[in-house]
Amino acid sequence: MKLVMLGAGGFIGSNLAEYLIDRGEHDVVGVDVSAEKLTGISGGNFRFIEADITKAPDLTDDLISQADVVVDLVAYANPSIYVEAPLEVVRLNFFENLRIAETCMRHGKRLIQYSTSEVYGKNPRRQKFIEDESDLILGPVVKQRWIYAASKQLLERMLHGHGLRGDLEYTILRPFNFVGPRFDYLVEAGTRGGPRVFAHFMSALLTGGPMYLVDRGTQRRCFTHIADANEAFTVLLESPGAANEVFNVGNPDTDTSIRDLAILMQKIYEDLTGKSTHNELVEISGEEFYGVGYEDTNRVPPDISKLEGLGWKPRFGLERTFRDAIQYNLGQDHE
């Protein structure tokens, strides 16, 4: 099978590319604006094209026409960008992704679309998120932080509509906080905004800087080892039962608060390095950290019974997930 991965140079894409190369079952063409995270990843069944697909529609059309399956990972996935550049977020995360879907329809190609768990938004009911049942509730327009979730949600609704009309065969993945090697880019200690929590906490551990607890760090999240996510992709790629369906990809057993995550990462860092950590846990508001227009929510764990019904189960717990990610960054730091 020939796969075209758009957005292959990011955290998810680079890990998925490496996983597929190692399996050797499919030919993979990866496309992205940078190959930085693909350094050292190569194989006879993998080819990388450095290009900005927003500026190369003919290239995108040609690659999709030759593919059996298109994997769309193209997205801005950074809360600071949601707040600072909401129009750019909707242009890429909705309009550009819709163009990719329309190209798949024109050539009769299957689409595997990576969405986000953020489409569930501020659902107030304390239960697990269920793909085909849970309401999707977002914040007010003046909280432009929700532009990312709104863009992804509208894209999902468009794909569903085309599926009902028979124009498109698709599978939608809703990732729940994938973590592992190559996750995000580390930032200067004390930086506000920017990448997600792992990058900030890891940078703080490496430099002794503060670990910021946005809105007291009481928010809860579930984290998923990237190896589990890769295996979920294979199940969905190969299962006829994945056609025109939406799937949560997450690990409900890893549910933890951000404050407790900071303490866990300190413990793992001390275990791996033999060094004591002295990072101050600093409470800060979301708007102080990300800017005006930011809002967050306590998210509940995903229901994964739908994906489990296809034969997938997550294998890695919370500590192992973060131990592997921290170990990778320690190795990178010491090179």
Mean pLDDT along residues 7-12: 95
Mean pLDDT lowest among 16-30, 45-59, 119-133: 119-133
More confident residue, 76 or 124: 76
Q: What pLDDT does residue 332 have?
A: 58
Summarize the confidence of residues 247-268 as an average pLDDT: 97
* Reported confidence tier of residue 335, pLDDT bands at 50, 70, 90: very low
pLDDT of residue 220: 92
Percent of the chain with pLDDT over 70: 96
Secondary element (H or E) of residue 175: strand 170-175
Query: Over pLDDT 90: what percentage of the chain?
Result: 85
User: What average pLDDT does range 250-275 have in this prediction?
Assistant: 97
Per-residue confidence (pLDDT) for residue 288, from 0 to 100 = 92
What are the pLDDT digits (tens) for 310-330?
999 999 999 999 999 999 999
Is pLDDT at 64 greater than 90 in this prediction?
yes
Q: Give the SS3 label for residue 51.
A: coil
Residues assigned a catalytic role:
148
What does each C-alpha distance from 196 to 12, 26, 185, 212 come to in angstroms? Answer: 14, 32, 9, 11
The pLDDT of 163-178, averaged and rounded, is 97
Query: What domains sit in the chain, N to C, each tagged with a CATH number?
Result: 2-178+224-252+301-315 (3.40.50.720)
What's the pLDDT at 44?
A: 93
Q: Quote the CA–CA distance of 43 and 290 in Å, as a whole number.
A: 40
How many other CB atoms are there within 10 angstroms of residue 143's CB atom?
A: 19
Whether the pLDDT of residue 185 is over 90: the answer is no
**Cα separations (Å) of 297 from 140, 145, 211, 229, 317?**
13, 11, 20, 24, 23
- Least confident window among 65-69, 286-290, 308-312: 286-290
pLDDT of the residue at 183: 82
Instruction: State pTM to two decimals.
Output: 0.95
The alpha helices in the chain, defined as continuous H runs, are 11-23, 57-66, 79-84, 86-90, 97-107, 147-165, 197-207, 226-238, 258-273, 286-290, 305-308, 318-334
* Residue 309: half-sphere exposure toward Cβ, Cα within 13 Å: 10
pLDDT confidence of residue 133: 94
113-143: pLDDT as tens digits: 999 999 999 876 668 999 999 999 999 999 9
User: Where residue 333 falls among pLDDT bands split at 50, 70, 90?
Assistant: very low
- Mean pLDDT score of the chain: 93
Closest of 192, 171, 226 to residue 37, by C-alpha: 226
The model's confidence at residue 193, banded by pLDDT at 50, 70 and 90, is confident
